[in-house]
């Protein structure tokens, strides 16, 4: 048995198999403050993770992260800005699993989560020194997570 759906852009009827899980529009999500941030990353990495989440049927939202340097003029290009990937709380665990899979597909030598030290130990991707409050590696640009 198949399910008939309509294209949200043009209204053309679409046919999907029974195991198809329709992805809700990111507009159906609550505000970012009520969502879980899975990863903050460059635009290209965020888009790749977004595609992986979409294939898994996880509704998510990409948002440009605010510049933490208040008072400074932000002349960065959109592709160099960090993007947050946000999901609903019930989807967070699966989204993190997919994030780990995506991270390893992009950086095969990236250490397992249990091998990653605190930011004070340096960047987990390239080993460069990074300030404890750094949000991004100064050498490779990896978005650094806050310590748990």
Residue of 103, 65, 99, 100 whose CA lies nearest to 84: 65
CA dist 67 → 18, 56, 76, 82, 111 (Å): 44, 30, 10, 9, 28
* Cβ contacts of 124 within 8 Å, gap of 6 or more: 110, 111, 116, 117, 142
| pLDDT value of position 5 | 65
Domain 21-66+76-111 sits in CATH 1.10.530: no
In tens, the pLDDT along 48-69 reads 999 999 999 999 998 888 765 5
pTM of the model: 0.58
- Map residue 40 onto helix, strand or coil: strand
| pLDDT value of position 80 | 67
Dihedral, CA atoms, 59, 64, 68, 71, nearest 10 degrees? -150
In tens, the pLDDT along 79-88 reads 667 889 999 9
Give domain limits for the chain: 21-66+76-111
| Mean pLDDT along residues 91-119 | 78
């Amino acid at each position: 048995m198949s399910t008939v759906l309509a294209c949200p852009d043009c209204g053309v009827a679409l046919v999907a198999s029974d195991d198809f899980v329709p992805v809700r529009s990111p507009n159906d999500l609550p505000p970012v403050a009520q969502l879980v941030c899975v990863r903050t990353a460059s635009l290209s990495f965020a888009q790749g993770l977004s595609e992986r989440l979409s294939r898994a049927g996880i509704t998510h939202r990409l948002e440009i992260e605010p510049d933490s340097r208040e008072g400074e003029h932000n002349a960065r290009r959109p592709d160099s800005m960090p993007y947050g990937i946000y999901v609903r709380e019930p989807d967070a665990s699966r989204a993190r699993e997919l994030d780990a899979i995506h991270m390893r597909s992009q950086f095969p030598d990236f250490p397992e989560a249990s091998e990653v030290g605190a930011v004070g130990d340096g960047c987990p991707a390239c080993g460069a020194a990074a300030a404890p409050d750094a949000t991004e590696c100064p050498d490779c640009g990896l978005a650094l997570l806050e310590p748990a």
